[in-house]
Amino acid sequence: MSGTEIDGGLARKAAARAAGAWLPPVSNWPRPLRLAVIGAFALVGFLARGGFADQPGAAMVHALFDPALLVAALLLEPQGVVAVFAFAVVVSCTPLFGPPPAPLSSMFDYVSLAVFALNSGILALVARALERLSRVRGELDALDRRNAEQLSHFIEQAPAAMAMFDRDMRYLAASARWRDDFHLTRDIVGKSHYEVFPEIGDAWKADHAAALAGETIRSDRDFFQRADGEKLWLRWEVRPWLRPGDGVGGVLIFCENISDRVAIRQALEDNERRLKAILDSAMEAIVTIDAEGKIISANPAACEMFGYAPPELMGRSVDGLMPGASHGEHRRYLSAYARNRETRVVGRRRVIEGRRKDGSVFPLELTVSEAKDNGGVIFVGFMRDLSPIEEEKRRVNALRDELVHVSRINDMGEVVASLAHEVGQPIAAILNFAAAHRRAGTGAAGEVDIVARIEAQARRAGEILKRLRGFIEKRPEMRETEDLSALILEALDLTPSRSRAQIVFVPQHGFEVVVDRIQIEQVMVNLLQNADEALRLAEAPEIRITLARPDPERVSVSVADNGPGVEPEAREKLFSAFYSTKRFGMGVGLSISKSIVEAHGGEIRFRDHAPHGAVFEFTLPTAGGPP
């Protein structure tokens, strides 16, 4: 049986207390009162002495002063007994108070006096013993009172909620904390626990009964709903306290209100659940690593992205997921963190390579943020698989190339019509030279010259066709350093003017650009054809091509015509696909030109040409400048 001994080593004193328990309440009387009572009895004896005048002295003393002696003894006054004895002797043996007493004459007198003296002695000893007993009892009571006070003070001051009960579950003491926690007043001492807490259920009552039977019972987390509706979470212990030699004196209940802790814990658990739900459903891969670069957590998206089962990733080095990071990427996070966030890594969005479990490498976008954890630091990496985006980019580029090519073929209709005329010239010349040769006959003078001319014309026709083929052929994009003037001259060759416009262009050297020649030619052909078209009905048609260098990084090409210009409402839509004012126009020329120029890092725009006409100008980065 486990219990709590409250009385400690007071067994001896308890026995003394038991012995003095019969002492009359007179022991509590004040001393003057006791002395007055003894004095009164002695005085009565003294005053009554006349009625005993014929008695021998000793018998008279017995009769008169025995009651006073007895009273003094009962009043626990040994000195009182002695004083009464002395007074009796003086009264009966000396002439001090009245006529001289009869002398002690007989043996009986002497014996009586001796008996009186003996009586007095015995009563004095009894009184003294009783007095001592009373004093010890008083001390014990005081000690008890002090102990009880100290105990209740101790319980009162205890920083925990605790209460002490007797065997009937009545309050002996309760700590201030107990009263505060349960909103109780001081007057609970003496009241029944079940009266104070009528809401206590049978289960707890059974626990109290078990504790009164000697058991100690505790609970780490127990719910308790007060009668007023207040809900509490408690950690409690109920144990018996023992009275030495007297068994279980009652129970002690220790109680801790852990409602706040339970609420915090619940909030934490809720947070954790919510966080897990967010991580589990996040589209982005989220991986947490410690300062050593070991993976602490990875959400399902991360496991799927890297092709691992969740347990396989735990504790693994993050370097294995990022081949580019095999040089200790996390250490860079750490040093970045140590540099007080003057970071090149933390918080920045970067594209790096990821490695799946099967070894395949893929592009991923990584953002790292850091968080404090138990005084240390952890890093959270947010990752996005860029392979679908890269794939999409490739597809869009392929489509754009396709479109560029289709639009080039579309342009060809007009180009071919114009070039047919150009190719016709050398062919007609060849025919003429061939006829002249036939007329002169083989071996005639000048034959070599005629054949050479035929060859030259055939080469010229071949050149024109080669340029045409080069222009329409489908080919991968190739960027090379090109001279812009040469490129413009080639484009001019491909777009003979139908409007018979005067072309003003002064080729200039030093305008070098890194471009796909065919694509930039395509832009030029587009602009030239549009200008030519706008000039069909013009009086003095002119197309002016100007090269300029707006700043050291860029060159610009402008194509100006003196046609009717662009209607105000059409300006917004000029570069939109499928916008055309022409009867058979597809409306893709300017939009393709815009996408080609922008893919080269340049810009294209339109402005009015004074007094009338349109200027289309595009820029390109100079060779060696930024792309």
The two three-digit tokens of residue 148, written as one number: 């009880």
68 is a contact residue toward ligand ADP (CB under 6 A): no
At closest approach, how far in Å is the CB of 593 from ligand ADP? Answer: 7
At closest approach, how far in Å is the CB of 485 from ligand ADP? Answer: 22
590 is a contact residue toward ligand ADP (CB under 6 A): yes
Residues 527-556, one symbol each (x = binds ligand ADP by CB under 6 A, - = not), give ---xx--x----------------------
Residue 292 to residues 164, 326, 331, Cα–Cα distance (Å): 54, 13, 8
At closest approach, how far in Å is the CB of 549 from ligand ADP? Answer: 24
> Which backbone phi and psi does 543 adopt, to 5 degrees?
-120, 125
503 is a contact residue toward ligand ADP (CB under 6 A): no
At closest approach, how far in Å is the CB of 422 from ligand ADP? Answer: 22
526 is a contact residue toward ligand ADP (CB under 6 A): yes
Interacting positions 607-626 with ligand ADP (CB under 6 A):
614
At closest approach, how far in Å is the CB of 496 from ligand ADP? Answer: 17
Contacts of 566 (CB under 8 A, 6+ apart): 574, 606, 608, 614
| Omega cis (within 30) before 611 | yes
Residue 344 to residues 223, 367, 504, 514, Cα–Cα distance (Å): 52, 11, 53, 32
When the beta carbons of 302 and 404 are compared against ligand ADP, the nearer one is: 404
When the beta carbons of 22 and 584 are compared against ligand ADP, the nearer one is: 584
At closest approach, how far in Å is the CB of 499 from ligand ADP? Answer: 11
582 is a contact residue toward ligand ADP (CB under 6 A): yes
Nearest to 52 by CA among 108, 101, 95: 101
Q: Buried (b) or exposed (e) across 125-150, using 16+ Cβ within 10 A?
A: ebbbebbebbeebeebeeeeeeeeee
Q: Which residue is nearest to ligand ADP (CB)?
A: 589
When the beta carbons of 66 and 561 are compared against ligand ADP, the nearer one is: 561
CA angle, residues 349, 350, 356, in degrees to nearest 5:
120
Dihedral, 384, 390, 393, 394 alpha carbons, nearest 10: -170
> How far is Cα 361 from Cα 349, in angstroms, rounded to an integer?
19
59 is a contact residue toward ligand ADP (CB under 6 A): no
328 is a contact residue toward ligand ADP (CB under 6 A): no
**59, 586, 599, 623: which one contacts ligand ADP (CB under 6 A)?**
586
Q: E strand or H helix at 355, and its extent?
A: strand 349-355
574 is a contact residue toward ligand ADP (CB under 6 A): yes
At closest approach, how far in Å is the CB of 409 from ligand ADP? Answer: 13
CB of 574 closer than 8 Å to CB of 540: no
When the beta carbons of 526 and 556 are compared against ligand ADP, the nearer one is: 526
> Which backbone phi and psi does 355 adopt, to 5 degrees?
-125, 125
**45, 293, 563, 602: which one contacts ligand ADP (CB under 6 A)?**
563
> How far is Cα 71 from Cα 237, in angstroms, rounded to an integer?
56
Q: Which amino acid is at 480?
A: E
In the numeric block, the tokens 């009385």 are attached to 7
At closest approach, how far in Å is the CB of 474 from ligand ADP? Answer: 21
When the beta carbons of 342 and 572 are compared against ligand ADP, the nearer one is: 572
The two three-digit tokens of residue 559, written as one number: 């194509």
How many Å is the maximal CA-CA distance in the chain? 214
At closest approach, how far in Å is the CB of 532 from ligand ADP? Answer: 9
- The string of DSSP codes covering 99-132 is SPPPPP-SHHHHHHHHHHHHHHHHHHHHHHHHHH
571 is a contact residue toward ligand ADP (CB under 6 A): no
At closest approach, how far in Å is the CB of 566 from ligand ADP? Answer: 5
413 is a contact residue toward ligand ADP (CB under 6 A): no
561 is a contact residue toward ligand ADP (CB under 6 A): yes
When the beta carbons of 518 and 590 are compared against ligand ADP, the nearer one is: 590
At closest approach, how far in Å is the CB of 503 from ligand ADP? Answer: 14
**294, 571, 579, 607: which one contacts ligand ADP (CB under 6 A)?**
579
Q: E strand or H helix at 381, and its extent?
A: strand 376-385
Residues that bind ligand ADP (CB under 6 A): 526, 530-531, 534, 561, 563, 565-566, 570, 574, 579-582, 585-591, 614
